[in-house]
């Protein structure tokens, strides 16, 4: 469907969906209807379906699967279950929302499927039912380049999520590239049969407090580094803190291992496994050995560039400068993923100790680097965000 069609359909369907809660309220005293499946709507393949006029009095109240509303932000649910979609029937409802609107788990369970090509997943719940989340973001921040990874960092097959946990962001991946960003949401029975989720979504949307939070993490909205955190998370560079998928902890110290992991994702250099044999003998190898504290008579085949870069020890601005100066030394023939090693090192060093520190308006930084500061410097080095106002980083 083209963008104009989406806009018109969104408005029309929103009017229809808004009548749902009233109907459900009138049917309070009735037993629940069985869930509606595609076979109920289309019992005979390829034969026209005669539309029946809805009864004046409902015989049962709509089936509702208990959910937290899966889109945490402004959105329009579109009751498109059963719609004809290029040779197949639509097995869910679409929820139109702006790209990068957070998507949360509708109910607690385990991740049962993640699309290797990005960006969809399914959650199997304790009762055997499954919810599906399709067309998550696959673009880097502010683009339509298909190079992002819109599934929340740290999620993996069989991993446990709680209802309301962040699992990704709205996008246009898969066969939705030519449409407006939206979430395709499905509910499937334990027998893997898709049911109409409209009543369940309407019930979840009306429940007070069903929306979780409005940013990539619950604790970064008020942070001066929130834009940088959102930007880097959208391309999979940042992860939650302490195993909590809704928090980034921007005010806590960044660790050596956390910093090394980010550098590895950007430059394809593993700071935790530096093989001295890769580095030609001479001044560079001597400088690296001094930094590592390694003697020639006790060389190991591989070693961490600096012990504090391989642990959960907080990293200081001085440590970070040392790490960045080592990057060009460690670079080899590997392919850089986002930019060259030299470009990234220069962009970071300008902020850490050069003429453009993480301030442009304050004294050179010393002491421990926080997670928010690290995110800001990385995002600026990659050219993805501009500097925040000075009063926000003092």
Cα-Cα-Cα-Cα dihedral sign, residues 342, 346, 352, 354 = positive
Q: Is the pLDDT of residue 8 over 60?
A: no
Q: Is the pLDDT of residue 333 over 50?
A: no
Q: Is the pLDDT of residue 53 over 90?
A: no
Confidence of residue 45 (pLDDT cuts 50, 70, 90): low
The Cα–Cα gap between 369 and 358 comes to 11
The Cα–Cα gap between 183 and 167 comes to 12
Please, which residues bridge with residue 316 across strands?
368
Among the listed residues 320, 307, 301, the one whose alpha carbon sits nearest the alpha carbon of residue 370: 320
The Cα–Cα gap between 97 and 176 comes to 13
For the stretch 233-284, pLDDT in tens is 766 678 777 655 567 889 999 998 888 888 887 877 777 665 555 556 666 6
Fold annotation for 3-206: Glucose Permease (Domain IIA) (2.70.70)
pTM reported for the whole predicted model:
0.52
For the stretch 278-326, pLDDT in tens is 556 666 667 666 666 666 655 555 556 566 677 888 998 888 888 887 7
**128 with 83: CB under 8 angstroms?**
no
The Cα–Cα gap between 26 and 183 comes to 30
Among the listed residues 165, 169, 135, the one whose alpha carbon sits nearest the alpha carbon of residue 150: 169
Q: 353-379 burial, b for 16+ CB within 10 Å, e for fewer? A: beeebbbeeeeebeebbbbbbbbbbbb
For the stretch 77-132, pLDDT in tens is 877 787 776 666 777 888 988 887 888 899 999 999 999 877 899 999 999 999 99
Q: Which two tokens stand for residue 216?
A: 């990539």
Mean per-residue pLDDT of the chain: 74
- Beta strand 160-161 with 166-169 is unpaired
Mean pLDDT, to the nearest integer, of 159-174?
A: 87
The Cα–Cα gap between 205 and 231 comes to 28
Among the listed residues 125, 115, 180, the one whose alpha carbon sits nearest the alpha carbon of residue 150: 115
**134 with 150: CB under 8 angstroms?**
no
Residue with tokens 């005979």: 44
Q: Where are the domains of the chain?
A: 3-206, 226-393
């Amino acid at each position: 469907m083209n963008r104009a069609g989406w806009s018109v359909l969104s408005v029309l369907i929103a009017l229809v969906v808004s009548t749902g809660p009233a109907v459900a309220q009138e049917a309070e005293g009735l037993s629940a209807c069985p869930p509606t499946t595609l076979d109920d709507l289309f019992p005979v393949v390829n034969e026209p379906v005669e539309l029946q006029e809805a009864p004046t009095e409902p015989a049962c109240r709509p089936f509702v699967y208990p959910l937290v509303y899966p889109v945490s932000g402004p959105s329009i649910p579109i009751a498109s279950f059963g719609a004809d979609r290029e040779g197949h029937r639509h097995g869910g409802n679409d929820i139109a929302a702006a790209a990068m609107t957070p998507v949360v788990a509708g109910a607690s369970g385990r991740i049962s499927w993640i699309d290797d090509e990005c960006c969809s997943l399914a959650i199997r719940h304790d009762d055997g039912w499954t919810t599906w989340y399709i067309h998550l973001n696959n673009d880097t921040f502010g683009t339509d380049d298909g190079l992002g990874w819109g599934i929340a960092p740290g999620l993996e097959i069989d991993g446990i999520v709680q209802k309301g946990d962040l699992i990704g962001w709205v996008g246009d991946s898969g066969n939705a590239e030519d449409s407006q960003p939206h979430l395709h949401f499905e509910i499937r029975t334990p027998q893997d049969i898709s049911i109409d989720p409209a009543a369940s979504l309407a019930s979840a949307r009306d429940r007070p407090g069903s929306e979780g939070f409005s940013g990539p993490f619950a604790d970064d909205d008020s942070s001066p580094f929130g834009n940088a955190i959102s930007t880097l998370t959208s391309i999979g560079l940042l992860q939650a803190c302490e195993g909590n998928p809704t928090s980034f902890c921007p005010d806590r110290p960044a660790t050596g291992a956390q910093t090394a992991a980010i550098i590895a994702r950007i430059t394809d250099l593993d700071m935790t496994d530096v093989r001295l044999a890769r580095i030609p003998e001479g001044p560079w190898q001597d400088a690296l050995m001094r930094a590592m504290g390694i003697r020639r008579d006790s060389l190991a085949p591989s070693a961490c560039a600096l012990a504090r870069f391989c642990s959960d020890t907080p990293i200081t601005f001085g440590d970070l400068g040392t790490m960045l100066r080592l990057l060009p030394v460690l670079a080899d023939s590997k392919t850089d993923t986002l930019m060259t090693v030299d470009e990234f090192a220069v962009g970071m060093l300008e902020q850490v100790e050069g003429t453009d520190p993480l301030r442009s308006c304050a004294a050179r930084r010393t002491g421990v680097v926080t997670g928010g500061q690290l995110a800001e410097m990385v995002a600026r080095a990659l050219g993805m965000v501009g500097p925040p106002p000075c009063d926000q980083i003092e």
